[in-house]
A and B are shown apart, each in its own frame.
Chain A
Amino acid sequence: MEKSMGATNAKVINHIPEDLAFSILSKLPLKSLKRFGCVRRSWALLFENLHFLNMYRNYFISNNHSYYDGTSILLNQTNNPLHGEAFHSTLYLLSGERFENMVKLDWPPPFHEDDSFIEILSKTSVNGTLCLAQKNGMDLKCLFWNPTTDEFKIIPSSPFLYQSPYMEPTVNFNGFGYDHVKDDYKVLRWLCFFNITDVEVPWEDYLDVDAMWEIYSLRSNSWTKLDIEMPTSASNEKLHVDGVCHWWSINDDINCYDSPPRLVSFDLCNEVFLTTHLSSDMIGPLNILHLTLLNGFIAFIIYDQTTTFHIRILGELGVKESWTKVFILEPLPSIEHPIGAGRKGEIFFRKDDDELVWFDLSTQMIEELGVKGREHCCHIAIYKDSLLPIGGF
């Protein structure tokens, strides 16, 4: 009697029914899921199976990455000025389950109340410190700031900016982040130079200054030239996760010639980079890309100027086949473009009437924040406060 029970037991427990299998599979990382697509036919098409996709999405949204522990959301908003008005950028700290609390923070000196186009570099904080950057024509400001303690530290000017009196630099900030090996804060920048027009350059003073990369280290308090050929950022979407700065580019490695769009990932510790191309179905003449971090994963929000937005999550850095379409948001009428992602599957957008709103991936609800902003001039950053001094040392 017991023997046959044992045999039946073994037979019954060997097979896991598909809907139960999905409960397990939906919790696997993308790399494993793609490999297990080779187990059987139905598993090769998991992401086209609506039942599985819903389980995967629910788990993705509810599984809070530790990156977000104790964080708040910063909204960096720039107004859309009426005739005669000036631009100005306002920083808000958003808190509360539905962002009901919006507290205005004052920009630190040397910024003024009515300053505009201040970038929170890489949309992140390191031990409570933000890196703020601003380019206003010839005026270049870059500093570290802890909004909780109000401490700020201006980053000194780079010796590479004015190598020739006849060449004017154009600066592109690409990233801010933390090198855990050296316990150092770093800022990454790309410079290119143009001849100052209307000036006759004496033959003997002619100096051709090539575009170059430079990196600032807080520990050494200086800029160093980087001997690297890497595509510079083509947009304002820059991220920093685990010591790696990410941005995307349509420039080739050296100049600003058009190249297929790709993700560039620069490791602040060993100062090398990796590019990840986009799969061909992500690129299209009408497709607009927005790079963001969604629940700790690198993702592109892709929209084609209709009311549909797709989200592709990167399965593995460097692997263009691993961009997986996970979310489809539609229809989102009157939504013009994303401005960033929050902490638990919220995506912030700007509407065509300038209203800034947030979309909850789990409930599919859209709510207004109560503030308006100019297109492509509003951004979200993830901030974790700290009382530590800047640099912690």
Chain B
Amino acid sequence: MAQEASSSTSSKTISLKTGDGEIFEIEASAAKQMKTVQRLIDDLGDDITIPLHNVFSKELPKIIEYYKKDITGEITKDFEAEFVKDLNDDEVKVLFLAANYLDANKLFEFLSQNIADRLESKSVEYVRKYFGVENDFTPEEESKLREERAWSFRGIKEDE
């Protein structure tokens, strides 16, 4: 019954409200790629502003930019390289967690690969801080393991 009255799905836009109260528009076909958003649309309807408590105004525009390219089939290796070029490791992490929250699989996979590439030559301490995890080894256990895996530390600067 609403089908005839409203515009076709391809040009319909959805309003998204970030955790810090800003509103952004996204095309319905792009919203479909973010399963969390789609689920909220299914529950709340597509005329309501969809609240995204865990995504903020710094990240959402970037995510929308990615999926705008995705629906036109224009995502290339060059676009992806450009997309993350000026982001630091922490900024990528925030995007990665947001992509997870939004259940945006393609972006999630791309960002996890990008983070892996960034972490490849990093030190153990850097990685601990990055993932926010505690060292639960005893000093003896850790030094024994480092000795066993000494080959994996070759060429790595431990203070980076």
Contact = CB atoms under 8 A, between A and B. Distances in A.
A16 B137 contact: no
Contact of A9 (B56, B109, B131): B56
Interface-centre pick from B100, B108, B124, B152 (highest chain A CB count, 10 A): B152
A24 B115 contact: yes
Nearest to A36: B127
Contacts of A14: 132
Contacts of A13: 90, 93-94, 97
Given A13-B90, A28-B119, 18 more contacts: A2-B20, A12-B54, A16-B93, A16-B130, A16-B133, A20-B100, A21-B131, A23-B109, A27-B113, A27-B116, A28-B116, A32-B120, A35-B149, A36-B124, A38-B142, A39-B124, A315-B152, A322-B151
Interface of B: 19-20, 54, 56, 90, 93-94, 96-97, 100, 108-109, 112-113, 115-116, 119-121, 124, 127-128, 130-137, 142, 145-146, 148-149, 151-153, 156
Contacts, number: 88
A34 B120 contact: no
Contact of B119 (A2, A24, A40, A315): A24
B121 A5 contact: no
B153 A35 contact: yes
Nearest to B109: A23
B120 A321 contact: no
A147 B93 CA distance: 50
A16 B132 contact: yes
A221 to B, nearest CB: 40
29 contacts: A2-B20, A5-B19, A5-B20, A13-B90, A13-B93, A13-B97, A15-B133, A16-B93, A16-B97, A16-B130, A16-B131, A20-B96, A23-B112, A24-B119, A25-B116, A27-B112, A28-B116, A35-B153, A35-B156, A37-B149, A38-B137, A38-B146, A39-B124, A39-B128, A39-B131, A40-B133, A40-B135, A40-B137, A315-B152
A29 B153 CA distance: 13
A316 interface: yes
Interface in A10-59: 12-16, 20-21, 23-25, 27-29, 31-32, 34-41, 44
Given A27-B116, A28-B116, A38 B149 contact: yes
B151 A23 contact: no
A319 interface: yes
A374 B20 CA distance: 70
Contact of B151 (A29, A41, A316): A316
Nearest to B100: A20
Contacts of B152: 31-32, 34-35, 315-316, 322
Contacts of A12: 54
Nearest to A319: B151
Interface in A39-98: 39-41, 44
Contact of B131 (A15, A31, A319): A15
